[in-house]
Amino acid sequence: MIIEPKTRGFICTTAHPEGCRENVRRQIEYVKSQPAIDSAQKVLVIGASAGYGLASRISMAFSGKAATIGIIFDKPASGKRTASAGWYNTAALEEFAHEEGLYAKTINGDAFSHAVKEETIALIKQDLGKVDMVIYSLAAPRRTMEDGTVYSSVLKTTGESYTNKTIDLASRKVSDVTIPPATEEEIANTVKVMGGEDWMDWIKALKEADAIEDSAVTVAYSYIGPELTHPMYTNGSIGMAKNHLFQTSKEISGQLGIEAYISVNKALVTQSSAAIPIVPLYITVLYKIMKEQGNHEGCIEQMYRLYHDKLQKDSVETDEEGMIRLDDLEMLPQVQDEVMKVWKTICDENIEQAADIDGYWEDFYRMFGFRLDNVDYAKDTDPNVDILSLK
């Protein structure tokens, strides 16, 4: 079949297997072109199929030469429906890993569930003995508990409504958007989904099963951003969840004896960030400025720098609160001062000059395997692709 991008809102409902494979190949080539990561050798990546999780797995496997187990929640192709991008990404990663003699296996299922935790632990015990790093990169909108209760997260403020600029990326029109405050129940549900409870459950389960080294390190991802996004992110419902995630890192380190860190990453085009009001417009402005200043990074550059520079085997670079600041380039004064200058005047008339909308769309489509210059999108392509370890 000829596979073309079909978008609905902030997601693409199709994915291209050859494009996803090429996207993974390029990320692998990038990390292999850099100095090798000297870190963990047996790594579990929870949320491994796209974005930061995928880039983390690629960095640790192809630069650090680590054995990796990835947890994904993705769909294979069915009839005329393509597989999800995460499915194709994982299939490509395993293919390239096996070509280089690297151990790479994947479990496809709900990472929140006891069943997936038990299956993962059994695989670790069977193949690796114990892991020495756990990367928690889960970005799910809802969580189903063992009793069937479903909790959903919301992207709202806390306290008062907040109005600021946003963009309709399809029409490239700037307008105001008002984000309403979340109820106490909505905040609690968001913390339940996106906070640190499941991260703690994972580390506890691994400890109890003797499937994690005492010297292991675990890291989860967060975002802080500039003041203009604080009311609906850092100080919003999602920020309350991220605060809980940070407190959980302290509890994992103190109660379980496993070094746990939060990495505060840069704003980038991901399936998660695309859904947050105000943030896509901010990203388009940020991209233009950082590209002009020569300090722009994508997911793979960020994750390589995290594991090569910030989270080394014998030293971890943190701020005064103990967080790893991988957003250090984004938050440079010369970057943020310029962002605020542009933000004050940005409108429909100057949007093309003031923001990098084309760069946003390029990153968006590449997440799903489209718009890569050396992929033939006009040819018939089989959407059915196997993940080797799931055959």
Just list the catalytic residues. Answer: 233
287-322 core/surface letters (b: 16 or more CB in 10 A; e: else): bbbbeeeeebbbbbbbbbbbbbebbeeeeeeeeeee
State phi, psi for 68 to the nearest 5 degrees.
-130, 140
Q: Which residue has the tokens 């200043």?
A: 293
- What are the CB-based long-range contacts (under 8 Å, 24+) for 203-209? 203/134, 203/252, 203/256, 203/258, 203/260, 204/256, 205/117, 205/118, 205/121, 206/44, 206/121, 206/124, 206/131, 206/134, 207/256, 207/258, 209/121, 209/125
Cα–Cα dist 59/29, whole Å: 10
- Amino acid at site 35: P
